[in-house]
């Protein structure tokens, strides 16, 4: 509770907490679906808006600090695991399963904008496979898991390695005007 209080001490922290509360509100939506028999569909639906809210909160968390990055990281990893779980549970074994679309959109959102590079890479692999008359990449549990891991690894690197490094560099240059002249 002390971390939450420290986060809420600033205006940016209050916005961050509002984003997290909104994300929790979205998560409450599929819980209501438990009583209507639509839990999985509702859970799949909320991954996209929650992913967007978490990405915005990660950007803001680096500004607020005070432990907020750890909370944002835990929430981001949790929604990524939920996306993989829905994908693996919902996979029906068919070569053109629609669950691949869900996986593509959820990982695209979670790892945006670096996910666009991974999408281009997968598109290049697909084009190369067609050029060599290969039947393409079969959709199975392993392919879905590897696809998820590629997107999430790049997203994790982007949000929790590159962004903190860039943020630190920016703060150092801002604090030392002589450093920006170099």
Predicted confidence (pLDDT) per residue in 30-59, tens digit:
555 555 555 566 666 677 777 777 777 777
99-122: per-residue pLDDT in tens? 888 888 888 888 888 888 888 887
CA atoms within 13 A on the CB side of 160: 18
Nearest to 10 by CA among 55, 52, 60, 53: 60
Domain locations in the chain as residue ranges: 2-173
pLDDT of amino acid 89: 85
Q: Which two tokens stand for residue 88?
A: 């693996």
């Amino acid at each position: 509770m002390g971390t939450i209080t420290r986060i809420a001490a600033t205006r940016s922290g209050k916005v961050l907490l509002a984003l997290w509360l909104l994300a929790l509100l979205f998560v409450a939506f599929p819980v209501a679906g438990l009583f209507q028999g639509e839990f999985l569909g509702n859970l799949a639906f909320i991954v996209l808006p929650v992913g967007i809210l978490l990405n915005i909160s990660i950007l803001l968390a680096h500004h607020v600090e005070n432990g907020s990055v750890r909370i944002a990281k835990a929430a981001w990893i949790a929604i990524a695991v939920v996306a993989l779980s829905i994908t693996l549970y919902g996979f029906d074994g068919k070569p053109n399963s629609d669950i691949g679309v869900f996986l593509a959109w959820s990982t695209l959102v979670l790892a945006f904008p670096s996910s666009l590079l991974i999408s281009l890479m997968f598109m290049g692999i697909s084009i190369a496979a067609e050029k060599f008359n290969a039947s393409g990449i079969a959709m199975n549990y392993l392919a879905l898991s590897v696809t998820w891991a590629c997107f999430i690894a790049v997203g994790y690197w982007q949000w929790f390695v590159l962004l903190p490094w860039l943020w630190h560099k920016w703060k150092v240059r801002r604090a030392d005007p002589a450093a920006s002249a170099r």
